[in-house]
Amino acid sequence: MKSFDFLVLGSGVAGLTFALKVAPRGRVAIVTKKDRAESNTNYAQGGIAAVTSQEDSFELHVRDTLQAGAGLCKESVVRTIIQEGPARIAELMELGMHFSEREVARANGARELDLGKEGGHSKRRILHAQDVTGREVERSLLAAVAQQSNIHIFENHFAIDLVTSQKLGAADGNRCLGVYVLDKATGDVETFAAPVTLLATGGCGKVYLYTTNPDIATGDGVAMAYRAGAAVANMEFIQFHPTCLYHPKAKSFLISEAVRGEGGVLKTINGVAFMDRHHPLKSLAPRDIVARAIDSEMKKSGADYVLLDITHKPAQFVIERFPNIYQTCLRYGIDITKEPIPVVPAAHYQCGGVLTDVDGRTDIGGLYAVGEVACTGLHGANRLASNSLLEALVCAHRAAQQAVSRPTGAEALPIPPWHSGQADNPDEMVVVSHNWDEIRRAMWDYVGIVRTNKRLQRAHKRIANLQEEIQQYYWDFIVTPDLLELRNIATVAELIVTSALLRPESRGLNYNLDYPESNAEWAQKDTVRRKPE
Ligand SMILES: Cc1cc2nc3c(=O)[nH]c(=O)nc-3n(C[C@H](O)[C@H](O)[C@H](O)COP(=O)(O)OP(=O)(O)OC[C@H]3O[C@@H](n4cnc5c(N)ncnc54)[C@H](O)[C@@H]3O)c2cc1C
């Protein structure tokens, strides 16, 4: 057994920020299932929303966030996160994060932050590092972590399940004692014990066939927390990014919202701009509206994609502002300065998650959740663009303050070693990949951008059947990362479907043709799922 003072599951912005903040107070283990940089964070393009300019105000950022959240945000949480944002951004810059700057007009070469604009924001407030903001965040945090001798990173270590006092039969409430971890290199399952565990495992885009997320995003944290007895909220609110590159060889490449922020226009394949028929903000309408409009235009025309056109902007500007998007599209034979980009919507962000307060506390003692895995109430029914990196920075700081100032004081309980099935039949592994595909396709076809009760029920039945089969496998076979992820995406798929079935209205990202309007009674109601005892 490995014992630490703090256990951090995940090495994206949430996990790394928390680890840095608690490291002066004890030994920290960061468990991460691939290379340390591999995370949703690493692929964030647009930037971080924060109030840093004279023309902006906390009040405006709050208003924009509440508006996007469609009545479901927790206003006090929204205010706290937005007000504390600038201080966290300043700390990130002290660690060595470089945001893009521009020259101030007529000011003798003085420079200022180059603030971007994205859908739903009434002001320019997105701090960015060209179009590779997440890579720069990850780089600066990892460099700082490397300086800390108290932080130990376990790469290629897969967290399987949380160990809780309730599972061990203790009667004094439910506490998290640690986690069982698969060492992918040896195949051994080890026990990591700590009085404080942070879930920072990110989102669940891979539950859907088409997603902007990298392979790590299989909802492991939500599934683990649910199995351990934590409340999981608002999982029906999955944000589909309207503009993922449509190309047979491109896997999950996002065309940032900032392209529309800088003037990019959505057009049908015949070159007709269509967003003015859907929303006064046209191509910069909130994401759910843009994604639904694209879905509807594609269904109307039968086309597999629509176009995003930024060719009217000077080529030099496009290349300098979007170097990564420009180069990547060019590799696929598309020169975005000369021709429009073919795009489709794809699953992008999980607004719900493990229910926490603004300090990352879950309802299991000693267990915190921060970042995309958590549901704090900031996003409500729809996330405002670039608010997620902000949330992760602010809540990781707050969770760290809680974790160091409130020791659990509880005695460590002896944790039994992991017991695994023994069967190992490679012929049968085809079942795992088949079930993966089946879940992801069912979610895409029946639980996507536009839902109906009938489709949801159909998905529910299929997923329940698959879960039965997966359970059988799980107990009989030696655990592998693929099997563990399959079990997790099945659990998360079930949570998304059942949460959508619980909400008898359309609100934000949950659009159900059987209830096309929102219902005032549900305005401030979360859909909370807890594993039956
Ligand atoms: C293409 C793209 C663009 C985006 N652009 C923006 C943007 O411009 N602005 C913005 O605010 N947000 C953006 N987002 C969203 C944002 O990047 C994420 O919400 C945020 O980075 C999540 O951070 P996190 O630390 O919670 O999780 P992640 O960064 O996803 O990190 C999760 C970590 O957990 C690890 N992990 C997962 N499961 C396990 C397990 N079982 N065992 C061990 N380790 C595990 C992963 O390997 C990873 O290290 C974007 C997302 C994507 C995919």
Report which DSSP code applies to 371: G
Three-state SS at 114: coil
Residue 406 has pLDDT above 80, yes or no: no
Asked whether residue 97 carries a pLDDT value surpassing 70, the answer given is: yes
Q: Are 410 and 367 in contact (CB under 8 A)?
A: no
Indicate if ligand 1 lies below 6 Å from the C-beta of 9.
Answer: yes
pLDDT at 170: 85
DSSP of 229-277: T--EE-TT-EEEEEEEE--TT--S-B--HHHHHTT-EEE-TTS-B-GGG
Q: Is the CB of 135 under 6 A from ligand 1?
A: no
Q: What number is the average pLDDT over the span 502-510?
A: 96
Tell me the per-residue pLDDT of 170-194, one tens digit each, with 9 for 90 and over: 877 899 999 999 999 999 999 999 9
Return the number of other C-beta atoms located less than 10 Å from residue 315's C-beta: 14
Give the DSSP letter string of 188-214: -EEEEE-SEEEE-----GGGSSSBSS-
* Top mutation candidate among 13, 40, 160 for ligand 1, by most atoms within 8 Å of CB: 40
Q: Is 225 left (phi over 0), alpha (psi -120 to 50) or beta?
A: alpha
* 85 within ligand 1 shell (Cβ under 6 A): no
- What percent of the residues of the chain are helix, what percent strand, and what percent coil, each to the nearest 5? 40, 20, 45
In angstroms, the Cα distances linking 462 to 213, 291, 372 are: 24, 26, 27
> How far is 106 from 211, CA to CA, in rounded Å?
44
350 lines ligand 1 (CB under 6 A): no
- pTM of the predicted protein model: 0.94
Ligand 1: atom nearest CA of 159 is 42
Identify which of 8, 39, 125, 145 to mutate to test ligand 1's pocket (most ligand atoms within 8 A of the CB). 39
- Active site members: 287
Q: In whole angstroms, what is the distance from residue 325 CA to residue 128 CA?
A: 14
Determine whether the shortest distance from the Cβ of 134 to ligand 1 is under 6 A.
yes
pLDDT averaged over every residue in the chain: 94
- Size (the chain), residues: 533
Q: Which of 423-432, 465-474, 509-518 has the lowest mean pLDDT?
A: 423-432
**Distance of alpha carbon 518 from alpha carbon 378, whole angstroms:** 19
Alpha carbon separation from 304 to 213, 248, 274, 340, 343 (Å, rounded) = 20, 11, 16, 15, 9
Q: What is the pLDDT of residues 64-86, one digit of tens each?
A: 999 999 999 999 999 999 999 99
**3-state SS of 396-446?**
HHHHHHHHHHCCCCCCCCCCCCCCCCCECCHHHHHHHHHHHHHHHHHHHHH
Angle formed by the axes of helices 75-94 and 387-405, nearest 10°: 90
Token pair belonging to 45: 């393009």
Phi then psi dihedrals of residue 87, to 5 deg? -65, -40
Ligand 1 pocket test, candidate residues 48, 154, 388, 479, most atoms within 8 A of CB: 388
- Specify the ligand 1 atom closest to the Cα of 41: 21
Summarised one tens digit per residue, pLDDT across range 448-487 is 999 999 999 999 999 999 999 898 888 778 889 999 999 9
What distance in angstroms lies between residue 500's CA and the mean position of ligand 1's atoms? 23
Residue 147 near residue 70 (C-beta atoms within 8 A): no
